[in-house]
Structure 1
Amino acid sequence: MGKALYIAEKPSVAQEFAKALKINGQRRDGYLESEDSVVTWCVGHLVTMSYPEKYDIKYKRWSLDTLPFLPRDFKYEIIPAVQKQFNIVRGLLNRPDVDTIYVCTDSGREGEYIYRLVAQMAGVHDKTQKRVWIDSQTEEEILRGIREAKDISEYDNLSASAYLRAKEDYLMGINFSRVLTLRYGNSVSNYLKTKYQAISVGRVMTCVLGMVVRREREIRSFVKTPFYRVLGSISLEGENFDGEWRAVEGSRYFRSPYLYKENGFKEKQYAEKLIGELSQNSPLVCQVEKIERKKENKNPPLLFNLAELQNVCSRLFKISPDETLRIVQELYEKKLVTYPRTDARVLSTAVAKEIYKNISGLRRYPQIDGAADEVLEMGTYKNIAKTRYVNDKQITDHYAIIPTGQGLSALNGISLTAQRVYETIVRRFLCIFYPPAVYQKVNLVTVMEKEHFFSSFRVLQSEGYLKIAANSFAAKKASEKSQDSEEEENTSCNEVLLAALQKLKKNDILSVDSLSIKEGETSPPKRYNSGSMILAMENAGQLIEDEELRAQIRGSGIGTSATRAEILKKLFSIKYLSLNKKTQVITPTLLGEMIFDVVNCSIRQLLNPELTASWEKGLTYVAEGSITPQEYMDKLEHFVRVRTVQVEQSNYQYALRQFFDAAAENYKKKPSASKRGGKEL
Structure 2
Amino acid sequence: MGKALFVTEKPSVAMDFVKLLNVKGTKRDGYIEGDKAVFTWCVGHMVTMCYPEAYDEKLKFWNLKDLPFLPKEYLYDVIPQVKKQFEIVKSLLNRNDIDTIYVCTDSGREGEYIYRLVDKQAGEPNKTKKRIWIDSQTEEEIKRGIKEAKPLSEYDSLAHSAYLRAKEDYLVGINFSRLLTLTYGRQISNFLNNDKVVIAVGRVMSCVLGMVVDREREIRGFQKKNFYKINGEFIKSEDESYEGEWKAIEGTRYYNSSLLYNDTGFNKEQDARNLISYIKPAEFAVVESVKKTKETKNAPLLFNLAELQNECTKRFKISPDETLGFIQKLYEKKLLTYPRTDARVLSTAVAKNIGSNISKLVKMNFNQNVTNYSNEILKNSWQKNILKSKYVDDSKITDHYAIIPTGEGQSSVNSLGKLERAIYDLVVTRFLAIFYPPAKYSKVAIVTNVMDERFMTSKKVCVEKGYLEILKNDVKDKDSEEDAAAFLSKLRKGEKLQIGEYRIKEGETTPPKRYTTGSIIIAMENAGKLIEDDELREHIKGQGIGTSATRAEIIKKLINIGYLGANSKSQILTPTEKGEMIYEAIKVSVPSLLNPTLTASWEKGLKLVYEKAIEPDNFMEKLEYYTKNNINRVMVENNLGYLNRRLFEVRKVYNVDIS
TM-score, normalised with respect to structure 2: 0.96
Q: Are 2:636 and 1:661 aligned?
A: no
The 1:365–1:412 alpha-carbon spacing in structure 2 relative to 1, beyond 3 Å, is closer
2: distance between equivalents of 1:492 and 1:50? Answer: 68
Structure 2 unaligned regions, length at least 5:
532-536
Alpha carbon RMSD of aligned pairs, Å? 1.9
The 1:449–1:188 alpha-carbon spacing in structure 2 relative to 1, beyond 3 Å, is same
Structure 2 counterpart SS, 1:414: coil
**What's 2:324 paired with?**
325
Deviates more, 1:501-510 or 1:22-31: 501-510
Q: Are 2:263 and 1:276 aligned?
A: no
**What's 1:74 paired with?**
74
**What's 2:457 paired with?**
455
**What's 1:539 paired with?**
526
- What is the number of equivalent residue pairs in this alignment? 650
**What's 1:312 paired with?**
311
**What's 1:197 paired with?**
197
**What's 2:443 paired with?**
441
2: distance between equivalents of 1:670 and 1:132? Answer: 54
Structure 1 contact 368–427 (Cα < 8 Å) conserved? no
Indicate which of 394, 397, 414 corresponds to 2:396: 394
Shift of 1:511: 2.2
Structure 1 contact 304–400 (Cα < 8 Å) conserved? yes
Indicate which of 590, 612, 619 corresponds to 2:599: 612
Structure 1 contact 543–609 (Cα < 8 Å) conserved? no
Q: Are 2:597 and 1:595 aligned?
A: no
Structure 2 counterpart SS, 1:494: helix
2: distance between equivalents of 1:30 and 1:441? Answer: 65
Structure 2 counterpart SS, 1:575: coil
Deviates more, 1:17-26 or 1:138-147: 17-26
Structure 2 counterpart SS, 1:578: strand
Structure 2 counterpart SS, 1:240: strand
Alignment of 1:338-487 (within 5 A): 338-363=337-362, 364-366=365-367, 368-369=369-370, 370-470=372-472
Shift of 1:18: 1.0
The 1:72–1:33 alpha-carbon spacing in structure 2 relative to 1, beyond 3 Å, is same
Shift of 1:71: 0.4
**What's 1:228 paired with?**
228
The 1:644–1:552 alpha-carbon spacing in structure 2 relative to 1, beyond 3 Å, is farther
Indicate which of 563, 580, 585 corresponds to 1:576: 563
Which deviations, in whole Å up to 9, do the C-alpha atoms of 1:288-347 show, x marking residues without a partner? 111111111111000000000001000000000000000000000000000000000000
1:539 is matched by which residue type in structure 2?
Answer: N
Structure 1 contact 132–149 (Cα < 8 Å) conserved? yes
Tell me the percent identity.
56
2: distance between equivalents of 1:493 and 1:593? Answer: 51
TM-score, normalised with respect to structure 1: 0.93
Structure 1 contact 437–465 (Cα < 8 Å) conserved? yes
Structure 2 counterpart SS, 1:419: helix
Structure 2 counterpart SS, 1:540: coil
1: distance between equivalents of 2:538 and 2:415? Answer: 45
Structure 1 contact 14–39 (Cα < 8 Å) conserved? yes
Structure 2 counterpart SS, 1:245: strand
2:304 is matched by which residue type in structure 1?
Answer: N
Structure 2 contact 236–497 (Cα < 8 Å) conserved? yes
**What's 1:244 paired with?**
245
Shift of 1:669: 5.8
Structure 2 counterpart SS, 1:136: coil
1:116 is matched by which residue type in structure 2?
Answer: R
1: distance between equivalents of 2:647 and 2:460? Answer: 51
Shift of 1:242: 1.9
Structure 2 contact 297–439 (Cα < 8 Å) conserved? yes
1:249 is matched by which residue type in structure 2?
Answer: E
**What's 1:254 paired with?**
255
1:209 is matched by which residue type in structure 2?
Answer: L
2: distance between equivalents of 1:658 and 1:492? Answer: 61
2: distance between equivalents of 1:563 and 1:318? Answer: 20
1: distance between equivalents of 2:321 and 2:242? Answer: 46
**What's 2:534 paired with?**
none
Structure 2 contact 109–158 (Cα < 8 Å) conserved? yes
Q: Are 2:39 and 1:26 aligned?
A: no
2: distance between equivalents of 1:431 and 1:49? Answer: 45
Shift of 1:137: 0.1
Structure 2 contact 459–484 (Cα < 8 Å) conserved? no
Which deviations, in whole Å up to 9, do the C-alpha atoms of 1:88-127 show, x marking residues without a partner? 1001111111111000000000000000000001013321
2: distance between equivalents of 1:8 and 1:181? Answer: 40
2: distance between equivalents of 1:42 and 1:230? Answer: 67
Shift of 1:543: 7.7
1: distance between equivalents of 2:480 and 2:217? Answer: 41
Which deviations, in whole Å up to 9, do the C-alpha atoms of 1:551-603 show, x marking residues without a partner? 99943100000000000000000010000010010000011111111111100
